[in-house]
């Protein structure tokens, strides 16, 4: 990986709100205040890498789940046969209004936001979507462990929340431990779904290199 050039980073615009957050990180980690631009660029780089990983997770899960449901119900628009809650139905109807007509079921499904996917793990869909559906997708999940619906929902829900944070450029490096946990959980989720996809994603991302730069920031060489 090429060395990051910080020489002109002082010219970047950083909002006053974000400067306060970065300054709290500087005080907590006992860094030099001149390193604020470095924190800013590392936040951007790590955010870009996490966005890639989350996108991979989303695409893979959507594809595998949709294929499973089409096979299970024998219909490409299987989602029209589910008795959705009012909250979920509202999301589906809003998306249908925004998309051009006509649209294929697969296109419609792929256009649904990641934040929608967490509802697939809700308790009311245990017998329609989870058993015989979601629970069959994770071929590489350790056999000695129980595949918990709530555990999977937490990961997908967190991915959806973090994706929104990344879209709005929010600071994600305030809690380094949480940042690393998120990375590991998302990559683990991908691995459980598909080993080959996991290794491809691992080759595409530079998250660990940038995270190492964040950890070593301010340390004496």
* pLDDT tens for the 221 residues of the chain, in order: 455 555 555 556 788 899 999 999 999 999 998 899 899 999 999 999 999 999 999 999 999 999 999 999 999 999 999 999 999 999 999 998 998 888 899 999 999 999 899 999 999 999 999 999 999 999 999 999 999 999 999 999 999 999 999 999 999 999 999 999 999 999 999 999 999 999 999 999 999 999 999 999 977 65
Written as six digits, the tokens of 219 are 């340390």
CA distances from 119 to 39, 53, 110, 132 (A): 35, 21, 15, 17
Instruction: For residue range 123-141, list pLDDT tens digits in order.
Output: 999 999 999 999 999 999 9
In terms of residue numbers, what domain contains 96? Answer: 55-206
Does residue 14 come out as left (phi exceeding 0), alpha (psi in the -120 to 50 range) or beta?
A: beta
Residue 27 placed within a domain: no
- The pair of structure tokens assigned to 203 is 């080759």
Residue 155 in any domain: the answer is: yes
Residue 188 lies in a domain: yes
Q: Encode 29-90 in three state secondary structure.
A: HCCCHHHHHHHHHHHHHHHHHHHHHHHHHHHHHHHHHHHHHHHHHCCCCHHHHCCCCHHHHH
What's the confidence (pLDDT) of residue 34?
Answer: 87
* 186 occurs within a structural domain: yes
Report if residue 84 sits inside a domain. yes
Per-residue pLDDT tens for 174-193? 999 999 999 999 999 999 99
- 31 located within any domain: no
Q: Cα(178)–Cα(158) distance, rounded to whole angstroms?
A: 11
Task: Specify the number of domains making up the chain.
Answer: 1
Number of CB atoms found within 10 A of residue 140's CB: 13
Let me know the angle formed at the C-alpha of 119 by 118 and 125, rounded to the nearest 5 degrees.
130
In a domain, 6, yes or no: no
pTM of the model: 0.92
Asked whether residue 191 is domain-assigned, the answer is: yes
Q: pLDDT value at position 40?
A: 93
């Amino acid at each position: 990986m090429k060395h990051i050039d910080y020489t002109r980073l002082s010219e970047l615009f950083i909002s006053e709100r974000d400067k306060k957050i970065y300054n709290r990180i500087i005080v907590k980690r006992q860094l030099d205040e001149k390193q604020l631009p470095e924190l800013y660029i590392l936040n951007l780089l790590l955010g870009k890498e996490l966005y890639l990983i989350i996108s991979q997770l989303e695409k893979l899960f959507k594809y595998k789940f949709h294929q499973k449901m089409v096979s299970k119900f024998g219909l490409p628009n299987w989602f029209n046969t589910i008795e959705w809650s009012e909250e979920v139905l509202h999301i589906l109807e809003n998306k249908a209004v925004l998309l051009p007509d006509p649209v294929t079921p697969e296109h419609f499904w792929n256009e649904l936001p990641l934040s929608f996917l967490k509802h697939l793990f809700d308790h009311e869909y245990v017998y329609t979507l989870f058993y015989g559906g979601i629970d069959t997708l994770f071929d590489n999940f350790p056999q000695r462990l129980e595949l918990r619906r709530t555990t999977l929902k937490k990961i997908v829900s967190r991915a959806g929340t973090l994706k929104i944070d990344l879209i709005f450029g929010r600071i994600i490096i305030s809690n380094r431990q949480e940042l690393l946990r998120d990375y590991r959980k998302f990559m683990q989720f991908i691995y459980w779904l598909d080993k080959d996809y996991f290794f491809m994603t691992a080759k595409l991302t530079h998250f660990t290199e940038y995270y190492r730069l964040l950890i070593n920031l301010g340390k004496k060489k």
